[in-house]
Chains A and B, each alone.
Chain A
Amino acid sequence: MNASDTRLWRLMQPAVTLVLVVVSIGVPLWLVVVTAGKSRGEALNPDLSLPSEWHLLDNLRQVWTDGEVLSASLGSLLVVVPAVLGVLLFGSMAAWILARRATRLNAVLYALAISGIVLPPAVVTVVLLLRQLGLAGTAVGMIGVYMGIYMSTVIFFVTGFVRTIPSSLEEAAQMDGAGPMKVFWLVVLPLLRPVLATATILVCLYVWNDVFYAFFVIGGRVDTLPLNLFRVASAGLYLNNWHLIFAYVVLMSLPLIAVFAIAQRKIISGITSGAVK
Chain B
Amino acid sequence: MLTTARATAPSRLATRGRPAIRRRTHPMWFMAPAFAILLVFFFLPTIFNFVYAFTDWSGFKSEIRPVGLDNFTDLASNGTLFRSLRVTVVYAVLVAIFQNVFGFGLAVLLERDTWLNRLARVFFLIPVLMSALAVGYIFQALLKPTGALNRLLGIDYAWLGDTTWTVVVVALIHAWKWMGLSMLIYLAGLKTIPEDIVEAARIDGATRWRTFWTVRFPLLAPAITFNVATALLGSMNGFDIAQATTGGGPARTTEILNIFIYRTFGQGLFAQATTMSLVLFLLVALMAFPVIYVLRKREEIL
Contacts and interface: CB of A to CB of B under 8 A. Distances in A.
Interface string B105-121: 01001101010110011
B35 A113 contact: yes
Interface size class of A (residues with CB under 8 A): 35 or more
Contacts of A260: 125-126, 129
Nearest to A44: B146
Chain A contact residues: over half helix, strand or loop, or mixed?
helix
Interface size class of B (residues with CB under 8 A): 35 or more
Contacts of B26: 96-97, 100-101, 180
Nearest to A230: B133
B284 to A, nearest CB: 5
A128 B8 CA distance: 52
Interface string A14-52: 101110110011111101100100000000011110000
Contacts of A262: none
Contacts of B277: 120, 122-125
Contacts of A170: 25
Interface of A: 1-2, 6, 13-14, 16-18, 20-21, 24-29, 31-32, 35, 45-48, 86, 90-91, 93-94, 96-98, 100-103, 109, 112-113, 116, 118-126, 128-129, 133, 144-145, 147-149, 151-152, 155, 166-172, 174-175, 180, 183-184, 205, 208-209, 211-212, 215-216, 225-226, 229-230, 233, 237, 242, 245-246, 249, 252-253, 256, 260, 264, 267-268, 271-273, 275-277
Interface of B: 3-4, 6-8, 10-11, 14-15, 17, 19, 22, 24-28, 30-31, 33-35, 37-38, 40-46, 48-49, 52, 57, 106, 109-110, 112, 114, 116-117, 120-134, 137-142, 144, 146-148, 151-152, 176, 181, 184-185, 187-189, 192, 207-209, 222-223, 226, 229, 233, 236-237, 239-240, 244, 258, 261-262, 265, 270, 273-274, 277-278, 280-281, 284-285, 288, 292
